[in-house]
């Protein structure tokens, strides 16, 4: 079975463009079959970006875990103008992310990494719309291990739908972070986690 996080070279390519506006900024994203939210920007990702940007503080850098075709990384890079890294295991999504950063004239370091395996640095922001379909263990690994890659005053921002286990994930993460819900809309919850 194909998922948005499995690599499948044989999947027919049918590229399309998705446009997105944030205040005075205009973005275009090339998308394709075989990637998450291929036809429109995901509502949860948009809510995550909007909520983060309303509450943002000064950051030095960011890491986008499960970056897909680069929506979150590219918007943050354009608006915040700080160095960013986007990681994913889906090679087609990463190729699109490279294409999209050129299209939107930003510079993000996109790379293949199974969760944090290729990450060595620390980040003041780790942001993710995690791959719920990959299972709760992977999601908890992405969110829990983020702590090791976070600066002392760093923040982890993430989105999960209430009907996709947000509250049980919250319960687990409260053991290791101080956790707040910053926004709720259409069943999506936006969380902020900080080191205790
Ligand atoms: C819900 S999608 C979010 C995509 C993108 N950030 C967005 O907002 O449109 C989750 C992403 O996580 C990626 N992913 C799944 N398992 C992963 C893993 N083990 N390591 C890194 N990325 C993974 C998927 O390929 C997918 O692109």
Atom of ligand 1 at shortest range from CA of 132: 1
Query: 144 CA distance to ligand 1 centroid (A)?
Result: 16
Strands of 123-128's sheet in order across:
108-112, 84-88, 62-65, 123-128, 150-161, 188-195, 177-185
Model pTM above 0.95: yes
Q: Domain 42-195 has what CATH class?
A: alpha beta
pLDDT > 90 in the chain, percent: 94
The pLDDT score that the predictor gives to residue 132 is: 95
Domain boundaries, the chain: 42-195
- Residue owning the nearest CA to atom 27 of ligand 1: 68
The pLDDT score that the predictor gives to residue 184 is: 98
Residues of the chain with pLDDT under 50: none
Ligand 1 surroundings by CB, under 6 angstroms: 4-5, 36-37, 42, 45, 66-68, 71-72, 87-90, 93, 114-115, 129, 131, 134, 138
Query: What is the per-residue pLDDT across 118-134, written as a single tens digit (0 to 9) for each?
Result: 999 999 999 999 999 99
- Residue owning the nearest CA to atom 8 of ligand 1: 45
């Amino acid at each position: 079975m194909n998922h948005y996080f499995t690599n499948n070279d044989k999947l027919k390519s049918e590229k399309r463009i998705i446009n997105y506006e944030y205040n005075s900024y205009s973005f275009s994203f090339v998308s394709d079959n075989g990637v998450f939210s291929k036809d429109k920007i995901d509502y949860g990702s948009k809510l995550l970006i909007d909520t983060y940007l309303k509450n943002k503080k000064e950051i030095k850098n960011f890491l986008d875990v499960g970056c897909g075709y680069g929506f979150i990384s590219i918007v943050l890079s354009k608006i915040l103008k700080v160095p960013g890294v986007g990681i994913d295991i889906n090679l087609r999504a990463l190729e699109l992310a490279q294409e999209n950063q050129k299209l939107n004239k930003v510079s993000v370091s996109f790379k293949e990494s199974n969760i944090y395996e290729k990450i060595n640095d620390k980040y003041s922001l780790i942001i993710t719309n995690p791959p719920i379909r990959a299972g709760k263990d992977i999601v908890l690994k992405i969110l829990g291990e983020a702590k090791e890659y976070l600066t002392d005053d760093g923040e982890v921002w993430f989105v999960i739908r209430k009907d996709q286990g947000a509250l049980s994930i919250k319960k687990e993460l409260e053991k290791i972070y101080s956790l707040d819900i910053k926004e709720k809309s259409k069943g999506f919850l936006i969380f902020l986690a900080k080191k205790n």
